[in-house]
Structure 1
Amino acid sequence: MNAIFLGMACLLAGAAGYWVLGRGTPRPTGTWATGALLGSFALAFASYAPLFEDAVEAVVPHVARLLSNCASLAAATAVLAVSFQLNLEPTEAQRRVRLRLVLFATTTLGMTTLFTCEQVMHRSPQVYAIYLLLFISYLGFAIVDFLLQAVRQSKSTRRSSVRVGLRTAAVGCVIALVYAGYKLAVLVSLGLGLRLVPDHAKCSSLVAAPCVFSVTSPALAVLLICLGLTLPAVTYPISQARRRRWETQSFEALGPLWQDLAAAIPEIVLSPSDPAEDTSADSDFLLQRRVIEIGDGILALRPYRSRRVQEAAQKAFDVGRAKGAAAVEAAVVREALAAAKAGRFADEVAVPSAEAAARKDLRADTEWLLLVANAYQVERVADDNHPGRVGA
């Protein structure tokens, strides 16, 4: 148990330090709230470790419970602060965060006072019951508040990582409610004098009752909520790296088609291009420019696009599939380039590709042109091996 809880505490503390100190300037919205959230979760996990519990209780008897409960409330408050700052207008978010902070400070002050009274009165069950009432009230309020926000936001967000993260956090909230329910059972047991739940007993197993409710469920809830809220931040740089790699590879794959079009129609080149330039530095801009230049080149070839070549290619390829339609377009472009070099206009101009007209954004345009460029490159290699085919 020590290895699990202290390991998670160190990991979360490191993440909190990176989030606050390593994010650079200007800091994104919610930086401090997220740092407080991760730091609170780190303290919560540490407080569950028997080694930490023994160390702090050697100084102040039974104080580990107070630290654990306060860390849980601080984490719940930080979760709400992150949610407010990301989903509400700044003024409204600040107002709600201030109210939650006042309520949190009041609750923790009351719990600390009651804890002190409880120890002075030799762990009075009545005082402990009031302590539990304060803790459960604020914790339950915060959990339900965030759960409703997470479910609502997960239905409206467009980013899959945010949606999955919010739903993961919502599952953590449900497990946290199980923990709150356990604490409520302890409160009822104390109020009726039944003492059915040995809440003060130390835990040596994560699966034995009541430790599964008093330790495992809050730890699992903390882990899921933390994972859910940080998932978008973790996946974003990965998705960006994948996007840049795809853009760079696409830029290079479109090179042969672009080179032939630029050689035949130099005016399509928007600006001088250095063949040795680093496409990963501004891959989005470079790819967009290349796609536009290829599109302009194909449009400029319109008087040379032969309807006869198009119809012949349509008989040779399955135009019902994107690859087949791209092969037809590649054949038309190849013959149009040869006709443009020879100064020979088409007797009957080919109709524009329906597949190309259906593409409405950069990625869709790029994916279509990649299919065309691939088919064009196959024909280009064949032409290099059989020069007599060009312009035939």
Structure 2
Amino acid sequence: MNAIFLGMACLLAAAASYWILGRGTPRPAGTWAMSALLASFALAFASYAPLFENAVEAIVPHVARPLSNSASLAAATSVLAVSFQVNLQPAEARRRIRLRLFLLAASVSGMAVLVIAEQMTHRSPQVYALYLLLFISYLGFAIVDFLQQTLRQSNSTRRSSVRIGLRMAAAGCVFALVYATYKVTVLFSLGLGIQLVPDHARCSSLVSAPCVFSVTSPALAVLLICLGLTLPAVVYPISQARRRRWEVRSFEALGPLWQDLSAAMPEIVLSAADADEDAASDSDFLLQRRVIEISDGILALRPYRSRSVQEAAQQTVEAGTERGAAIVEAAVVKAALAAMQTGHLADEVAVPSASGTASRAGDLRAETQWLLQIADAYAHGETVRVADGGQPKPVGA
């Protein structure tokens, strides 16, 4: 148990240090709240370890339990602060956080007074019951508040990592409610004067009663909430790196088609005079620019797009597939470039080779995927056979 809880405490303390020291400036919204959350959870995990508990008790007797409970309340408040700062307007977030901090200070102060009173009255069950009532009231309020927010936000967010993270945090809230229910049971047993639950018993196993409720449940709650709230921050840089790699590869794959179109129509190449230095080297900017230039080039070829070439190409591919439509479009574009070089206008202009143009409008990824299929068919010679019979000689492959 010492290894598990102290190990988790060290990991959470390291994560808190990263949020405090490694975020740079200006710090994003919620940085300090997340730091406080991780630090509070680190202290809460450490307080579950018998080694830490014995060390603290050797210095100040009977302080381990209120220290652990205070860390739990601080962590719950930090969770709410993170949620408020991320999802509410700054003024409203500050107002709600101030209220929760006031309630936290009042609860912790009241708990400290009751702990002192409990020791002075030789561990009076009535005083301990008041202590539990104060602790569980604020903790339950914070858990329910956060659970409502996570469920509402998980249903409205579009990012899958955020949605999964919020649902993990909601699962953590369920375990926290199990712990709160256990504490309420202890409270009622004290009020009725019966010892239903041995609340002061030392735990030697994480799966035996009542330790499964008093230690395992809050530990799982802490773990799931921490993982849920940090998952988007971990996934985001990975997804951004994958996105940039896809953009670079797509930019290069569109190169052969773009080179032939820009060589035939230099006017489609956009001016770089208005782009700043950072944007000019950004993969998203470069890919978007290339997609626009290729689309403009294909549009400019409209008078040279032969319907007969299109129909001949359609007879050689599988009808109704996007790949087949891309091969047909590549054949039409290749023949249109050749016709443009000879000045031969099409007798009958070909219609677009694929539907869904309106749905792709404004969607860089969808438009890029479509052009990548055309560029692949164009560069690998899949259109030579269909663009050859009686039409201008294919170019670009």
For 1:152 and 1:204, the matched residues in 2 are separated by 38
Cα separation, partners in 2 of 1:255 and 1:40, compared to 1, 3 Å = same
Paired residues of 2:339 and 2:345 also in contact (CA < 8 A): yes
* 1:286–1:138 distance in 2 versus 1, CA, 3 Å: same
Count of aligned residue pairs for this structure pair: 386
Stretches of structure 2 that go unaligned for 5 or more consecutive residues are none
Residues 61-81 of structure 1: CA deviation (Å, up to 9, x unaligned): 221111110010001001111
Q: Partner residue of 2:370?
A: 368
Is the 8 Å Cα contact of residues 328 and 383 (structure 2) preserved in structure 1? no
Is 1:336 the counterpart of 2:336? The answer is: yes
Distance 2:382 2:77 in 1: 63
Q: Quote how far apart the aligned CAs of 1:281 are.
A: 4.5
Cα pair 2:330 2:383 within 8 Å, conserved = no
Alignment of 1:71-110 (within 5 A): 71-110=71-110
SS at match of 1:152: helix
Could you say which residue in structure 1 is the equivalent of 2:296?
Answer: 296
Q: TM-score normalised to the size of structure 1?
A: 0.94
Letter in 2 for 1:158: R
Displacement of 1:263 after TM fit? 1.1
Instruction: Give the match for residue 378 of structure 1.
Output: 380
Match of 2:151 in 1: 151
**Partner amino acid, structure 2, of 1:391:** K
Give the equivalent residue in structure 2 for 1:221.
221
Q: Are the counterparts in 2 of residues 164 and 228 from structure 1 also a CA contact under 8 Å? A: yes
Q: In 1, Cα distance between the equivalents of 2:13 and 2:150?
A: 24
Gaps of 5+ in 1: none
| Contact persistence 1:268–1:293 (CA under 8 A) | yes
Matches within 5 A, 1:260-275: 260-271=260-271
Q: Which whole-Å CA distance do the structure 1 matches of 2:289 and 2:382 have between them?
A: 23
Write the deviation string for residues 156-204 of structure 1: whole angstroms up to 9, x where unpaired: 1111111111111111111100000001111111111111211111111
Name the structure 2 match of 1:184: 184
Structure 2 Cα separation of the partners of residues 239 and 272 of structure 1: 28
Letter in 2 for 1:114: L
The structural deviation recorded for 1:122 is 2.1
Q: How far apart, CA to CA, are the structure 1 residues paired with 2:204 and 2:338?
A: 80
Q: Report matched runs for 1:252-291 at 5 Å.
A: 252-271=252-271, 281-291=281-291
SS at match of 2:129: helix
Q: Secondary structure at the match of 2:355?
A: helix
Moved segments of 4+, more than 4 Å? 277-281, 380-383
The one-letter amino acid paired with 1:378 is H
Instruction: Identify the range of structure 1 (280-289 vs 175-184) with the bigger mean alpha-carbon deviation.
Output: 280-289
Residue 352 of structure 1, CA deviation: 2.3
Contact 1:326 1:372 in 2 (8 A): yes
> Is the 1:2–1:50 contact (alpha carbons within 8 Å) kept by the matching residues of 2?
yes
Answer whether contact 1:248 1:280 (CA < 8 A) is retained.
no
User: For residues 16-55 of structure 1, what are the structure 2 equivalents within 5 Å?
Assistant: 16-55=16-55
- Looking at structure 2, the residues matched to 375 and 278 of structure 1 have their Cα atoms a distance apart, in angstroms, of 33
Offset at residue 269 of structure 1 (A): 1.0
Q: CA deviation at 1:315?
A: 1.1
TM-score (ref. length: structure 2): 0.93
User: Compared with structure 1, are the counterparts of its residues 119 and 281 closer, same or farther at alpha carbon in structure 2 (3 Å cutoff)?
Assistant: farther
Structure 1 range deviating more: 294-303 or 373-382: 373-382
Counterpart amino acid of 2:92?
E
Report if the CA contact (8 A) 2:309-2:391 is conserved.
Answer: no
Q: CA deviation at 1:278?
A: 11
